[in-house]
Amino acid sequence: MIDPLHLALGGMSGVLVGFALGLVGGGGSILAVPLMVYLVGVPNPHVAIGTSALAVAANAATGLFQHARAGDVRWRCGLMYAAFGVVGALGGSTLGKSFDGQKLLFLFALLMLVVGAMMLRSRKAEGDPHVRLNRENAPRLMAFGLGTGAFSGFFGIGGGFLIVPGLIASTDMMMINAVGTSLVAVTAFGLATAGNYALSGLIDWVLAGVFIAGGVAGGLAGTRLSHRLSAGGQLKTVFALLIFVVAFYMLYRSGLALWG
């Protein structure tokens, strides 16, 4: 049972996670998993992964509502991506539960570094503001959705840090549209992964509730800042830097646990 101090830390962590989701459509689980393990003190990495998946899904739904109000969401693209992603997430999360938790965190961090580098390389590309689902991009959306979902479920993440670049690669949509649209899939992936972990008793429901409450407040602030940065062309750079900072920290902490 987690004590009141660590529950309060969980609420504060939720604010950070909600802010990240509203800001860049990703980073929720990038932050949630290490915060639960290293700050809140959840001893079992699998419980941290399952609980964060549920919290991220709920917080992503809040961010999705805010971005939808602003007209950022490309619903048909997002729903197709999410539908195929859920299939991948269910398979990936089933496989992920059989792996060592610390090794998962280490591999997760390495993957983040690759994605961050890709985003920095493409930061000057503006994208198409009029993207719609069509015969040309539908197969790419299916393939990227399935692959992203599998990674999301395997590593126990909401997947936004993979979904945003996946949406851009498959449709060439603008960054702000990818951020808003990604939250459709983040919500779906998180629920699929959390449901699978819940069946194995790997969710701390009280901590998830506190985390979600903090995330609602953070999400409102993150969405507002996202539009300001998008207008200045800085959103991709912020996205990539967030990934690098947390990835290096996770490599350090999980590396100590594995080989220290």
Domain boundaries, the chain: 4-259
Token pair 């961010």 is at which residue? 63
Contacts of 57 by beta carbon, 8 Å cutoff, 6+ apart: 158, 186, 187, 188, 189, 190, 191, 194
Average pLDDT over the chain, rounded to whole? 83
pLDDT (mean) for 147-170? 79
Say if residues 148 and 204 touch (Cβ distance below 8 Å).
no
pLDDT digits (tens, 9 = 90+) for 234-246: 887 887 887 788 7
Q: How far apart are CA 67 and CA 235, in angstroms?
A: 15
pLDDT at 158: 57
Residue 26 has pLDDT above 80, yes or no: no
Over residues 105-117, the mean pLDDT reads 81
Average pLDDT score over residue span 181-189: 86
* Strand, coil or helix: 128: strand
State the average pLDDT over residues 27-42.
Answer: 80
State both tokens at 19: 């802010």
- pLDDT value for 157: 64
Residue 150 CA to its chain's centroid (Å)? 13
pTM: 0.77
Give the pLDDT band (50/70/90) at residue 209.
very high
